[in-house]
Amino acid sequence: MPASYAYLGPEGTFTEVALRTLPEAATRQLIPYVSVQSALDAVRGGEAEAAFVPIENSVEGGITTTLDELVAGTPLMIYREVLLSITFALLVRPGTKLSDIKTVSAHPAAQPQVRNWLKANLPEAVWESAASNADAARLVQEGRYDAAFAGEFAATRYGLTALETGIHDAENAQTRFVLVGRPARPAAPTGADKTSVVLWQRDDHPGGLRDLLGEFATRGVNLMLLQSRPTGAGIGNYCFCIDAEGHISDRRMAEALMGLKRICREVRFLGSYPRAEVSAADVEVPLPGTSDLEFVAAADWVARCQDGRF
């Protein structure tokens, strides 16, 4: 049996489409799971080599279900990311007209991306959330709901008709997906990488978040995502999910992480991995004083001072 990848199913999700863009997906058994949690638990339990799940979209930001699963439980690591442009189709059973639609369904993350279209075209329709957009299509097939927002490619899989296509409130909307596995050595740096971490403060105090961000800023590390998530320990208790530009093997990133480890109650490393659709040539030159060569030169100077060779 080939190694398997779990993904947010059922068949016909945007997640499956994005997963199949990875070259290695052709050599893996792809197994749909009913939720992000069950897909990640399959990895934790050894049932799958890795899981492929959505983590961020350009309309609403971070996918909280995925972030919360990576924050809690047995640690996992991100190894790859994929960006997929998203447009929706309104899928219905054959013969259904727009005026027949009283209920619509999709994954909760889809609602902000079609809200204006829904208000303009189906203002009286009742929204019902589903575990995924493809699952919404399956429920329409079964007669539970009248219509589903999903990828047009899901219509054939579920015997439905695309009544409307190209639905999106925001132009060029994208969703970011990640390949998640058990912790291991990160892939070698490419020059166009991203590092993800979760931070917990020692205590709540004025300027606490500034102190965390300062560890990145003073070393010229650019942040790409910052989102707070409740810890479950009571109102006002939060951790911070951060994506930063660079690889843990970069001196500026390594020193920023060491600084955070000193001042945080806990730091969870979620991986360093290649950025999607970006090459080393696209990455801006580090700010003066923050290149690896300058970090090495500074460390060498300190060593020479300690030896009396300055």
Which residue, among 181, 180, 137, 176, has the nearest Cα to 156 in the 3D structure? 137
Q: What is the pLDDT of residue 70?
A: 95
Q: Which residues pair with 148 in a beta bridge?
A: 91, 105
For the chain, the average pLDDT equals: 93
Mean pLDDT of 168-172: 86
Does 118 score more than 70 pLDDT? yes
Q: How far is CA 290 from CA 220, 226, 227, 293, in A?
A: 6, 22, 25, 8
Q: DSSP labels for 145-157?
A: -SEEEE-TTHHHH
Does 242 score more than 70 pLDDT? yes
Does 265 score more than 60 pLDDT? yes
Question: 90: pLDDT confidence band, cut at 50, 70 and 90?
Answer: very high
Does 32 score more than 90 pLDDT? yes
Q: What is the pLDDT of residue 170?
A: 85
Q: What is the pLDDT of residue 266?
A: 95
Q: What is the pLDDT of residue 274?
A: 96
* Segments in the chain forming alpha helices (H): 14-19, 36-44, 64-71, 111-121, 133-141, 154-157, 208-217, 251-263, 292-306
Does 1 score more than 60 pLDDT? no
CA gap 35, 7 in Å, rounded: 8
Which residue, among 63, 91, 35, has the nearest Cα to 175 in the 3D structure? 63
Identity of the residue numbered 217: A
Q: Which residues pair with 105 in a beta bridge?
A: 128, 148
Residues 6+ apart with CB under 8 A from 234: none
Mean pLDDT of 256-271: 96
Least confident interval from 59-63, 173-177, 185-189, 195-199:
59-63
Q: What is the pLDDT of residue 2?
A: 61
